[in-house]
Amino acid sequence: MREIEVKARVSSFDSMKEKIDHVLGSEGIRIEKDDRYFKFPADAVQRVRIRRFSDHLEMTSKKTGEKDGLEDNEEYEISYSISDYEESVKLLKNLGLEDFFTKHKEGYEWHKDGIHFELFNVNDIGSFLELEAILPFDSDEKANEEERSRILSYISIFGLGKEDIETRSYREMILSREGRMTTSIDAYTDGGCSGNPGPGGWAFVVVSNGVELTHSSGGMKYTTNNQMELTAVINLLRYLKENRINKARIHTDSQYVKNGITNWIFSWKKNGWRTSDGKSVKNRELWETLSSLSSSLDVSWVWVKGHAGDEFNELCDSLCRKEMEVLR
């Protein structure tokens, strides 16, 4: 199944519950969830989650993604008896997995119009409102966009804004608090447009030990290839800063980005943002933003040949093309 989900921070748990009860026209149902995550020793990302409810267990394998601040995930899930908990843990450990982290969620849930609403206190990191829609694996982008729009409309109805949306996973927030967040990763970026100028897309993929941690993408109706390449890297760097990842090796198939940030930008700044022939540097605002973000991080830059079979470069390219298709 495909899961489209957003979570937002809530300042007052009780006030938000009253508001949701009123808007949805029903009292929330009390629930608790205990999650235990497992990974392989070389991984920096979870592989399996066992979720314990009062009367049953769920075992889930999830591939996470992100688009426009909303999670866009693929999930494989089975449900079975609560009495099998210890045996399930033994099975995973016999397969070579180890404990990663745990999470306790306590609060209320509602269902309306195909959307699952949950209001939780999570560990000691705060209160969150979660909205989730489930779609088939083969749902098209139009259907996905419609669900994203519906979910975001409820965020507004409940009096929350974009600034309240939390793009980090609970795992990232919990591990960051405990000082166990990944500090060094590989990342891939790409950007392009149809027509140059024309509708464009950007994307980045974050990788640790050869395993995808997350990805994100977006687009603009009228832009250029170079603007999208820069935008991809800028959004990646913002993600790194927000998640306290201070060291990264960034792979790009754009010589414009690679040469610009490692070589040309020093001359541009020295010459008052003018090129060697005295012309104004194109996309200066984006370059200034990129320079500012990268200056506080330990970043190395790697050029990769595009369309040459690199798994994560190809994934970035595919995400960009999907964004362009939506805007055409």
Helices of type H across the chain: 13-24, 85-94, 141-157, 170-177, 225-242, 255-259, 265-270, 284-295, 311-327
Q: Which residues share a beta bridge with 79? A: 58
Q: How far from chain centre, in Å, is Cα 273?
A: 34
User: Does the annotation count 126 as an active-site position?
Assistant: no
Q: From the candidates 191, 200, 201, 218, which is the catalytic residue?
A: 191
253 is catalytic: yes
Instruction: Say how far residue 17 (Cα) sits from the centre of its chain.
Output: 26
What stretch of H or E contains 199?
A: strand 198-208
CA distances for 24 relative to 17, 97, 222, angstroms: 11, 41, 39
The amino acid present at 153, given as its one-letter code, is S
Token reading at 111? 């269902």
Q: Which two tokens stand for residue 314?
A: 């190809």
CA distances in angstroms from 136 to 110, 140, 146, 153, 326, listed in the order given: 21, 9, 14, 22, 19
Amino acid (one-letter) located at 97 = L
Whether 229 is catalytic is yes
How far apart, in whole angstroms, are the C-alpha atoms of residue 40 and residue 49? 13
Active-site annotation holder among 5, 186, 229, 323: 229
> Looking at 107, 190, 200, 218, which residue is catalytic?
190
Task: Give Cα 58 to chain centroid, integer Å.
Answer: 23
Q: From the centroid of its chain, how far is CA 313?
A: 17
Residues β-bridged to residue 126: 122
Among 118, 130, 317, 323, which one carries the catalytic annotation? 317
Using CA atoms, how far residue 328 sits from 165, 198, 218, 225, in Å, is 28, 9, 14, 15
What is the identity of the amino acid at 57?
A: L
Helices (H), 161-251: 170-177, 225-242
Active-site residue, from 107, 253, 260, 323: 253
Is 307 part of the annotated catalytic residue set? yes
- Name the residues annotated as catalytic: 190-191, 229, 253, 307, 317
